[in-house]
Structures are given as structure tokens and as C-alpha cells.
Homo-oligomer: A and B are copies of this chain.
Amino acid sequence: MPLETAKVPNLGKAPSASDIILTFIRDAIADGSLDQGEPIRQDDVARLFNVSKIPVREALKRLEAEGLVEFHRNRGVVVTSVSDPELAQIFEVRAILESSAIKLSIPNMREKTLARALEFCETFARETDVARWSELNWQFHSCLYEDAERPFLVSTIRSVNDRLERFLRIQLALSQGKEIADREHREILDACRARDVERAGTLVFEHIMGACRSLLEHLPRIRTR
């Protein structure tokens, strides 16, 4: 009598306290509620979740490895500050990886994928809630890389994107930010339809570096470094 294995909630994969806290802090950095340079008090977070510091520290250690926070011995954890040149370099790595991904993807790209990408593109264009733009933007991008069948490449891109998330949200919210993104998305899609590998790669590269440029132009940075 095999029990209905399908609909049983999988207890084995229940997230641990540190998993939940990890996601919470990562999101808080992404949406700007934790600004760069801002300290993260372990006891505060622990109290917030009614847990001890230990799962909090474990979550923070993972975020440290992801580059989102920094530990300062005996002084505490702060959200990593990103200087302009660093920001440009992170965008550049993203551009390198994403343009490679789309080049690998196009030769295998199915009609169905093109249709889904168009769908995401239009959902993005229609969405009025600023908070969701970045998420829909990612759906469009990652959809295009799916047929490359390179999960590791995509997850690497994802992790670079995580570092940029807070800035991407700002960039899209800039005047024209979303409109320009939408226009460029459609051009990229056209190149994919035409199976023009080189053009698509170049467009993706420029799409990303363009976002970087407009961000740097509009960010009045008063930071120390």
C-alpha cells in the first residue's frame, strides 16, 4: 500500500532556522532596508526571530562567502560596501557570463522558449509594481539561457546577480530605466529569433553595461570609498 507520496509535505527538507534567516537578510539587503555599511547586530536579529545567535551567525557566514556582508572581528557584521569601480567590474563579469550564455543557448533554442521569453518580456513591461520589476527582469534573462543546458553557468550568473540586486532595483527605477530595458529586451529577442548568435551576444553585453553606465551616472555617491 504505497501511500500517496505525491502530496505528503516533505519533512526532510524543512528549512532550518539559519536557512530562513539567510533568505530574510539577503532580501533585506536586496530591497535596501539594509543599506551598505550598515551594521547587522546578531542579537537584534536573533531576538527578531526568537532564536539564539547561533543560527544567525551561520546565516551571516554564508552571506559572507557570497560577498554580501563582512565580518569585522569583535566589532560586528556590516553590509558590504561597493565602490564605483567594483560595481562596474561586477556588472562586467555579469555581461561576460550572460553574453556567453545566450550564445550557447541560441543554437538549441526552441520555439517554446522564445514564446515564454516573450511572455516574460510583456509581463515585465506591463507590471506597475516597482518591487517586482527586478524579479521579472531576471525571469526574462534566465529563460533565455535555459536551452544552453548549463545549470552551473546559470547559477553562477545568479550569484553575481545577487550581489547586484540592490543596484538593479535602483537602476530599473531610474527615469526611463524600465522603458530602455524593455526596448532592449525586444531587440535581444529579435536576434534570438533570427538565430543571430553574435548579435544577441553583443546586445546582451551592451544591455548590461548600459544599465551599469546609467546607474553610475545617476548614483550621487558620497561614500568614503
A residues touching B (Cβ–Cβ < 8 Å)? Answer: 12-14, 16, 18, 54, 57-59, 61-66, 72-73, 75, 86, 89-90, 92-93, 96-97, 100, 150-153, 156, 160
Contact = CB atoms under 8 A, between A and B. Distances in A.
Given A61-B61, A64-B62, A73 B152 contact: no
Contacts of A65: 61-66
A90 B152 CA distance: 7
Contact of A12 (B66, B72, B160): B72
A69 to B, nearest CB: 11
How many copies altogether?
2
A153 B58 contact: no
28 contacts: A12-B72, A12-B73, A14-B73, A18-B61, A54-B54, A57-B58, A58-B58, A58-B61, A61-B61, A61-B65, A62-B62, A62-B64, A62-B65, A64-B65, A86-B151, A86-B152, A89-B150, A89-B152, A89-B153, A92-B153, A93-B97, A93-B152, A93-B153, A96-B96, A96-B97, A96-B100, A96-B153, A97-B97
A96 to B, nearest CB: 5
A160 B14 CA distance: 28
Contacts of A54: 54
A96 B96 CA distance: 8
B153 A73 contact: no
A90 B155 CA distance: 11
Contacts of A63: 65
Contacts of A59: 61
Contacts of A61: 18, 58-59, 61-62, 65
A160 B156 CA distance: 9
Given A12-B75, A96-B153, 5 more contacts: A12-B72, A61-B65, A89-B151, A93-B153, A96-B96
